[in-house]
Chain A
């Protein structure tokens, strides 16, 4: 089973700043890495798939990069609505599909 480790667990930033979230896989997942955003009481929302492809309707301030075992989600110029929990997910080696434990992005 592929283990995904996200860091940091919590990131405290202010609106307008740049957020950099990391996801590391226990073995290579090629580019098959997906990012989701989840707000309290809501279902997750697809942000980025296959490491760097923005989903439909996702603003350009969200970008993804990486391949193999190291991946990054970058949110430039944070908006108030961006403060949420972010999960990575791998789809290279399944079953099982695995998720990271999440990074909470909070307002500083």
Chain B
């Protein structure tokens, strides 16, 4: 069974930093591209970042470029999101999401974690 378990969320002050982790199991993590998607309280879904299976391709939405860094450790079956210079508008539940097909960049999110809440507030 595919499992994605996020951790690392919490309360942080504006300008602070946080690192989210996503532990993957039940599939060959190293062959799948991954994404982070967030959802502000009571709002819709917003794509944040993408990383290919080998980390050769990485993309971010404009509002987080230069502040967030996505990475992965295929030996540890883990995905990460380093978040710096956090703003109130970054407050959201952050989900890691797997792409449907191994070895592809087809952005169809077939498996999601349960999410981890990041709250940016003083």
> CB within 8 Å of B: which residues of A?
34, 36, 38, 42-46, 49-50, 55-56, 87, 89, 91, 94-102
B46, CB-defined interface residue at 8 Å: yes
Asked whether A91 lies within 8 Å of B106 as measured between CB atoms, the reply is: yes
Q: Mark B28-53, 1 if CB is under 8 A from A, else 0.
A: 00000001000000001111001000
Given A34-B108, A49-B108, A43-B45 contact (CB < 8 Å): no
Chain B, 100-116, CB within 8 A of any chain A CB: 100, 106-110, 112-115
Asked whether A89 lies within 8 Å of B112 as measured between CB atoms, the reply is: no
Task: Please indicate the chain A residues that have their CB under 8 angstroms from the CB of B100 in the complex.
Answer: 46, 49
On chain B, the number of residues with a Cβ less than 8 Å from chain A's Cβ atoms is 21
Give complex CA distance A95, B47 in Å. 9
Give complex CA distance A36, B45 in Å. 10
Asked whether A96 lies within 8 Å of B61 as measured between CB atoms, the reply is: yes
> CB within 8 Å of A: which residues of B?
35, 44-47, 50, 59-62, 95, 100, 106-110, 112-115
Knowing that A50-B108, A96-B62, A99-B45 are A-B contacts, what are 14 other residue pairs whose CB atoms are under 8 Å apart, sorted by A's residue number? A34-B109, A43-B95, A43-B114, A46-B108, A49-B100, A89-B107, A94-B59, A95-B47, A95-B50, A96-B47, A96-B59, A98-B47, A99-B44, A102-B44
Given A49-B100, A87-B45, A95-B108 contact (CB < 8 Å): no
Asked whether B107 lies within 8 Å of A94 as measured between CB atoms, the reply is: yes
Task: Please indicate the chain B residues that have their CB under 8 angstroms from the CB of A55 in the complex.
Answer: 110
Q: Which residue of A lies closest to B113 (CB)?
A: A43
Task: Please indicate the chain A residues that have their CB under 8 angstroms from the CB of B106 in the complex.
Answer: 91
Task: Output the least CB separation between B95 and chain A (Å).
Answer: 6
Asked whether A99 lies within 8 Å of B95 as measured between CB atoms, the reply is: no
Asked whether B47 lies within 8 Å of A99 as measured between CB atoms, the reply is: yes
Among B46, B60, B108, B110, point to the contact of A99 (Cβ < 8 A).
B46
Give complex CA distance A44, B108 in Å. 12
Task: Output the least CB separation between A12 and chain B (Å).
Answer: 19
